[in-house]
Structure 1
Amino acid sequence: MQADVRADMRADVIVVAAGRGTRAGDGLPKQYRPVGGRPLLRHTLERFLGQPGIRRVVTVIDPAHAALYADATQGLADSFGADRLAAPVAGGATRQASVRAGLEALADAPPELVLIHDAARPFVTARLVADALAAAAQHGAAVPVLRLVDTVKRCEAEGFVISGPDRDLLRSVQTPQSFRYALIREAHRALAGRDDLTDDAAVADAAGHRVASFAGDAANLKLTTPEDFVSAERVFARELQDLADVRTATGYDVHAFGEGDHVMLGGIAIPHGRGLAGHSDADVVLHALTDALLGTIGAQDIGFHFPPSKTEWKGAASDQFLRHAVELVAAKGGRVAHLDATIVCEEPKIGPHREAMRASIAAIAGLPLARVSVKATTSERLGFTGRREGIAALATATVRLPWSEDEQ
């Protein structure tokens, strides 16, 4: 699908986790059951928190499960930022009421786009998220669908089959379902008294909106039965084995001091008596990290993707450069494992801003804070940095990619 999402479009996610999942058998509610070594809900949340295009994620839970939720999400807010993983919201008696509660929880700082996803689908991919956002931006309401493989028949009470609908016109529907926030919030408000609408596409349709479709993903499984959990364990084991191609690459950037009252480093504006000269915002840290990531997949360098000869990048914020590199890694089925940056300068002092830079880089790249490192050093007054003529940055990126025999 051709992306139609502006870089500045605010996109939030509602993860619906207020049910009990009784078909999964006895024991904990299924969203809190361990699979792949961690609670199911945690896997799902991490998938969205790891997407650069997502601003924040809110989970709708049964208040009786508050302790289970706290255990399942321990450390996530610290890793990704409390502004990205919002406090959980109490759900209602029906899925529709729970989603409405999630939508209202976003009203304090409403997004332009919202994805609504089942907690029991932990295998959502970067491609599916990107397509969902693009479809919502273009159509206002959209759902991922799969063509039916099996023939569908109606069955009589006695167990005999009779002719069924035309399979070519039928689709199975997945999540995340995607919408313009204002559209789906008003639809839910208008239909608050209905309890027969099984998903958010039905809510939008009943409110008079046409719902578009886009290609779903057969791997985007919903865990419902005990057998599904067994299958999921196999998938998680295979994912870890498949991402066996570990690659590391480096990046380097330098910018001279020029006029200005601040420098941009790691996505943070640091007050200073001079600025950094450059075609974009001259953020040497993000530029070096971008080149390091591009190097892991052999995708040339930052100048190839964002030529300084093009006026559209004049004064551009460098977070979009790093985000683009992360998305290229994801498009190859890979994951960013770690980012490390070293800043070389005599001034300004980096220490007071180090943690803010780490948090900024983590948010841009969709990484836990623990997977980002920022260091600083001087050049002992040697060279251009020692003469306080500019700032340099070195970066190292480590990614995990699917193993490919074709590349051997």
Structure 2
Amino acid sequence: MNPALDGVRVLELGTLIAGPFCGRLLADQGADVIKIEAPDRPDPLRDWGQAEVDGHHFFWTVHARNKRCITLDLRSERGRELFLDLVGTADVVLESFRPGTLERWGIGPDVLSARNPRIVLARVSGYGQTGPHSRRPGYASVAEAVGGMRHLNGFPDEPPPRAALSLGDSLAGMFAAQGVLTALFARERDGGPGQVVDVSLAESCLAMLESTIPDYSATGHVRGPGGTRLEGLAPSNLYRCADDRWLIIAANQDTVFARLCTAMEQPELATDPRFATHTARGRNQDEIDAIVGDWAAGHDADALTALLEAAGVVVGPVNTVADVVLDPQFLARDMLVPHHDEAIGRDVLGPGVVPRLDRTPGSVRWAGPPRPGTHNTEVYTGLLGLGEDELKQLGADRIV
């Protein structure tokens, strides 16, 4: 059975994380994603990642997987002509430039839709294509702050830290993939034209704020950082065990809390007026956290995990990546898969495909191609029908 997006062609422009992450998600499900890099300015993501082998980094290995990579100078007239020829064969154009860039190059939405009325144009930017801040550059760190997410992280009265990941970029990439699939569905349902999918990093962070906006609108309440817990949600926290390992114990639901109380051999806590309901536990959060914390401190983490799992209480360790790659659940579900990295000539592990589809599953077919223009011949001669001599001349002219 072919993967779900087999037959969908995506032209990926732009660099770094948000747009390429969207492209990766689509490619994982079988889309033919053609990554376009400038001949003299490859995607900086090729050099990102904290670890390296012989100067090679691994961000690219994962985020460019399953993509065909070509080079093309979109700033040149001939490059734009070739790009529009590719647009005529495609379903989606995905770009993550600052708003106005495509228009400045003469390949804005009107030009693309004139060449291919069914094209879906996904545009990922810091603040969106409109509004007073639209022309500002945007990175995930700022988007997380502007969108309200960063303020909620960390501990009260301390500087709000960031997660050691580019969450704003990844959220925008996920929303962009959702938008692309939604637009493709609407196009096929209506038999009509494509449309523009406008995704903002800042808005992607704002969209994750749960009830914080209506809470403020209705009551003036400004939610703040909760440290290792969420205020009003108890017990659901990080607890240190006797062997100095940390466990997350989440028993804030009434039925689960009752099971925790039984496991703790303190069943009377489940009917104690201070803790009998979700609201009551929220009001007495410090007290119930202290009780659970004292109890957890008397057990080793493995023994406590086994006890709580047997009791039907939600519990889990705080895994490092070294723990994650050995986790039997992730291994059983193919969430840790080899990527053959040609740059170092061997396999490295990477994340599996999410979500899993049971009838038309996605897969990791190859790692990010190590060289810009790896698929130039395959795409330009096979897809556009250019001759080899013409392709060589385009290379000599630095068009490709």
TM-score, structure 1 normalization? 0.28
Greater C-alpha Rg: 2
